[in-house]
Amino acid sequence: MPHTLEWSQAYTHRLSKNNARAVAARQADLSQRLAYETAAGALPFLTMSYREKLVVELPLVLPRLKICKHMLVLGIGGSALGARAIQRAFAPGQDGPEHQGPWLWIADNVCAQTFDAWLSKLNPAETVVVCISKSGGTIETLAQYFLACDWLKTAFGRNWTQRMIVITDKTKGYLREEALRHALISLEVPNCLGGRYSALSAVGLLPAAFLGIDWQSLLDGAADVARPLTQNPSNIGSHPAFALACWAHELEVHQYSQLVFFCYIPTWSAYGLWFAQLWAESLGKKSMGTMPVPATGVTDQHSVNQMFLDGPRNKGCLFLTSRVQAAGRNFGTDLPEQWAWLRGKAFGSLLEAESLGTRMALSESGVPLVHLEMHDTSPRAAGALMMLLEAATLFTGWLMDINPLDQPAVELGKRLANARLGATGYLQEEADLFAFLSAAKKEQHF
């Protein structure tokens, strides 16, 4: 059975369906653009042109992993968020009591305390390290790579290379040079596949395969959604990803500055963080874009939902549920009389009721809301959702007349950090740092 987008509460408050129809009138031009860019190989996340090679190469790596209980992933941003979302959705056991493995550890931050603890406590004989960077030059990831190499060399000597895998560009970058220099096992991040669009490549699927997750089904679900677009771009106007893009564009036009991703599939809550990077890094450009706000039901009903319901009227909402979720244990028939209405009901019935209540409350508060209802919570369903959101992000950027595939603003901070650490070739950044650090401070102590 299909998954569903429900639109009855989408065009409310300041939004107008007529304006959305005007935007949709651009679909002829955008369908031509879609046809051109897919043919040119500029949208590999959508065409999945890398899949045939991946399904051959990834299984060849897996025998190397069978002797390992732990995978330590070195990666940040798009090199980490997809893998974490997939793990928490489909291999949550490692976060529970008495788990026997395998374990996935993702070093996605510069936290010396955590990284030192992991290298001190993980057994190298049971661990494989996977270093992920599309460019091969991400400073945070390379710093971890250098330390992890020393850790492996101490344990294995010359054989350290047997426990290191890199996922990077096919031909260029420092990690590719390292792979060639040391004959490291490697998988590629295809050309034109940016990090935030790479979760359904080796970047996210090697960790998934290590955990025993059906990674082929993730790809199948994504392909189900992408196929109508790639096989016949002229049908873009009838695709749900384009409908979402038209709605999201209308939100911004009408001064809705935030897009809440409210997830009522608890095991999928980490997809909110994955979506936040996808949306923000793709669309936050030229003083435009809506700020993604991940929220988890029912947890955030008791934290930020007051702001959603009664704060500024600047929010739209993608509301994610599933028709099929675990029911859990039933309440006994001996509950106190004041709770008699719960007798015999399943614990999971609370989630359905809370979901409905919150969705209605948001709608009655004037929050434009699109309800995404997944038929099930299988890997195939997750792949479908990920492709839907990636395509919707792409089309929203096109409607905004910006490039949703680059991230120019974040490069400045990287250059300044490199200059601060003493890298050469950053004369202007060094001068800017000196001026910034020399400015008079206005301090207040507490």
Catalytic machinery residues: 281, 302, 414
CA-based R_g, the chain, Å: 24
Judge whether 233 and 31 are in contact, CB under 8 Å: yes
Read off φ and ψ for residue 115, nearest 5 degrees.
-65, -40
Judge whether 209 and 215 are in contact, CB under 8 Å: yes
| β-bridge pairing 369-374 and 315-322 | parallel
The amino acid at 161 = T
Q: What is the dihedral of CA 295, 298, 301, 302, to 10 degrees?
A: -110
Q: What is the dihedral of CA 285, 277, 38, 228, to 10 degrees?
A: -120
